Amino acid sequence: MAQNIDDIQINFDSESLWFVNLTLSLIMFGVALDIKISDFTNLLKSPKPVITGIISQFFLIPLVTLILIYIIKPFPSIALGMFMVAACPGGNISNFFTKLSKGNAALSVSLTAFASFASLIMTPLNFAVWGNFYEPTAILLKKVQLDPLEVANMVIIILGIPLVIGMLINHYYPKFAGQLSKILKPVSILIFLGFIVGAFSKNLDVFLEHIHYVIYLVIIHNVVLFFVGFYFAKINRLSYIDQKTLSIETGIQNAGLGLLLVFSFFNGLGGMALLVAFWAIWDIFSGMALSFFWAKKTKKQKPA
C-alpha cells in the first residue's frame, strides 16, 4: 500500500544542501552581472509597468495560488509546496526567456532586480501569511514553527549578497561582467538541473510512486500564472511587448530557492519537495516553449 505523501520525506544530506546553496548563489550572481544600478532609477521614469509587475509578483501569484488550492484541494504538503513556489521571487532565467520572446528586456531586468531585493522580506512574509489562509497548511506550519527571520537570513545569503556583488562588478568592470555572465549563467543553471535530477534519482522509488500527484498541479499552476501575468498587464493597458514580459515574470518562479527552503526548514517534506522540484524543471521547459512561440509569432507579424 502506498504511503501517504504527507508522511514521506525526501532524503537530502547536508553536503547536497551546501551544493544547492552555492549553485543558486552562482545563478543569482550571474544574473546580477547584467543588472545596472541605473535599472533601479528607471523604475521611477516608467513606473506603471513595474508597479503592475510588482503587484502581479507579490499579490496576484499567492492569491491565485490560494484560489487554486481551494478548488483542487491537494494533499496539505503539496498545497504547502504551491505556497512556497508562490512566495519565491521570479525565476533567474526570466530575463533570458524575455529576450528570446522579443519582450521588454529592460523591464524584465528591472523587475528581477527589484523582486530579488524585495524577496528578502516578501518571501518569508508571503509564505507565512498566505500559508495560514488554508487550514491544512496552517496546521503544518504550526508543527514546523517556521521562523520568518531564519528564512529571510537564508534568502539574504543566497540572493541578496550575490546580487550586490554582481551589480558592483558590473558597475566598476562592465566589460568583464558581460564576459563572465555569458559563461556563468548557462553553466550554473545546467549544473543545478543536473543536480536536481541526480538527487531525486536517489529517491527514485518515492519519486515514481508519488510524482503523479504533482505533475498536473504544476502544469495547471504554471499555465494559469502565465495567463494571469499576461492579462493583468493587458487590463492595465500595457503594450503587447510588456504583456509578454509580465507573463514570463509571473509564470517563471525561483523554485530553486524554494527547494532549498523546503530541505532546510521542512526536512524534505514529501509532497512539498516533489512539487517544488518538478516546478524547478518544468518551468524551464514551459518558459522555453512559450518564448519560442512568441518569438516565431513576432517574426510573422513583421512586414516583409
Mean pLDDT by 10 residues, the chain (304 residues): 64 68 80 76 77 93 97 94 92 82 84 82 91 93 78 83 88 88 78 70 72 91 96 94 94 86 80 87 89 79 50
Which among 212, 208, 40, 61 is positioned nearest to 129, based on CA atoms? 61
Q: What is the DSSP letter of 146?
A: -
pLDDT score recorded for residue 251: 94
Q: Are 52 and 238 in contact (CB under 8 A)?
A: yes
- In whole angstroms, what is the distance from residue 9 CA to residue 223 CA? 28
Angle between helix axes 105-131 and 135-144 (nearest 10 degrees) is: 80
Q: Where are the domains of the chain?
A: 8-294
pLDDT score recorded for residue 65: 97
- DSSP, collapsed to helix, strand or coil, labels residue 279 as helix
pLDDT score recorded for residue 186: 77
What does the angle CA 239 – CA 43 – CA 237 come to, to the nearest 5 degrees?
20
Q: Are 27 and 260 in contact (CB under 8 A)?
A: no
Amino acid sitting at position 203: N
Task: State pTM to two decimals.
Answer: 0.87
pLDDT score recorded for residue 42: 66
CATH (one of 1.10.760.10, 3.40.640.10, 1.20.1530.20, 3.50.50.60) for 8-294? 1.20.1530.20
Residue with cell 498536473: 216
